[in-house]
Amino acid sequence: MRGGDLARLALRNLREARLRNALTTVGIAVGAASLVAMLSVGVGLQHFARRRLARAGLFNSIVVTRKMNLRGYGRAYRFGKTAAGAPTRPLDQAARLQLEHLPGVLAVYPQVRFLSLVRYAGKSYTTLIAGVPPAARSGGSFSGLIGKYYSSPDAAQAILQMKFARVLNPHPRQLLGKTLTLRYAERQPLPARPGSGGAAGFAIIPKTQPLRIVGLAPRAPVFGLSGFFRGRVFLPQQLAEHLQIAQYSSLRDLVNGQGKGRNYGNLNVVTRGPGRVLPVEQAIKKMGFRAFSLMDATRRLRLVFALFDLLLGIFGSLALTVASLGIVNTLAMALLERRREIGILKALGAADGVVQRLFLAEAAVMGVVGGLAGVLLGRLLAALLNWGTNDYLARRHLPHVSIAQVPWWLGLGALAFALAVSLLAGWYPARRAARLDPVEALRYE
Partner 1 sequence: MPEENPNHAPALSVTGLCREYARGASRVRALDGVTLAVGRGEFLALVGASGSGKSTLLNLMAGLDRPTAGSIVAEGRDLAALSSDELAHYRNAVVGMVFQAFNLLPRMTLEENVELPLRLAGCEPARRAELVRAALARVGLESRAAHRPGELSGGEQQRGAIARALVLRPRILLADEPTGNLDSRTALEILDLMNELRRDSGATIVMVTHEQHLAERYAGRIARLRDGRLESLDVRA
Q: Which of 11, 12, 388, 416 binds partner 1 (CB under 8 A)?
A: 12
Integer angstrom CA distances of residue 402 from 43, 190, 387, 399, 406: 10, 58, 9, 10, 10
Segment lying near partner 1 (by CB under 8 A), choices 105-113, 241-249, 295-303, 336-344: 336-344
Q: Smallest gap, in angstroms, from Cβ of residue 350 to partner 1? A: 5
Instruction: Return d(Cα 276, Cα 150) in angstroms, integer.
Output: 29
- Does 431 bind partner 1 (CB under 8 A)? Our answer is no
- Does 337 bind partner 1 (CB under 8 A)? Our answer is no
Instruction: Return d(Cα 367, Cα 416) in angstroms, integer.
Output: 9
Segment lying near partner 1 (by CB under 8 A), choices 68-76, 207-215, 347-355, 380-388: 347-355
Task: Pick between residue 15 and residue 285 the one whose CB is nearest to partner 1.
Answer: 15
Number of residues that bind partner 1 (CB under 8 A): 24
- Does 1 bind partner 1 (CB under 8 A)? Our answer is yes
Task: Pick between residue 304 and residue 352 the one whose CB is nearest to partner 1.
Answer: 352
> Which of 357, 308, 225 minimizes the C-alpha distance to 43?
308
Instruction: Return d(Cα 217, Cα 224) in angstroms, integer.
Output: 17
Segment lying near partner 1 (by CB under 8 A), choices 110-118, 352-360, 388-396, 405-413: 352-360
- Does 357 bind partner 1 (CB under 8 A)? Our answer is no
- Does 19 bind partner 1 (CB under 8 A)? Our answer is no
Segment lying near partner 1 (by CB under 8 A), choices 72-80, 157-165, 243-251, 349-357: 349-357
Bridge partners, 110 (sequence order): 267
Local structure of residue 174 (DSSP, 8 states): G
Strand (E) or helix (H) holding 103:
none
Segment lying near partner 1 (by CB under 8 A), choices 72-80, 138-146, 184-192, 335-343: 335-343
Q: Smallest gap, in angstroms, from Cβ of residue 7 to partner 1? A: 12
Cβ contacts of residue 410 below 8 Å, gap of 6+?
36, 39, 40, 43
Task: Pick between residue 325 and residue 347 the one whose CB is nearest to partner 1.
Answer: 347
Q: Smallest gap, in angstroms, from Cβ of residue 442 to partner 1? A: 7
> Which of 94, 95, 92 minimizes the C-alpha distance to 256?
92
Strand (E) or helix (H) holding 395:
helix 352-395
Q: Smallest gap, in angstroms, from Cβ of residue 445 to partner 1? A: 9
Q: Smallest gap, in angstroms, from Cβ of residue 50 to partner 1? A: 53
Q: Which of 197, 257, 279, 353 binds partner 1 (CB under 8 A)?
A: 353
Instruction: Return d(Cα 239, Cα 252) in angstroms, integer.
Output: 23
**In a 10 Å sphere around its CB, with 0-12 CB exposed, 13-18 middle and 19+ buried, how is residue 81 labelled?**
exposed
CA 58 to chain centre: 9
Task: Pick between residue 12 and residue 163 the one whose CB is nearest to partner 1.
Answer: 12
- Does 438 bind partner 1 (CB under 8 A)? Our answer is yes
Local structure of residue 274 (DSSP, 8 states): G
Give the footprint of partner 1 on this chain (CB under 8 A): 1-2, 5, 9, 12, 16, 340-341, 343-354, 438-439, 442, 444
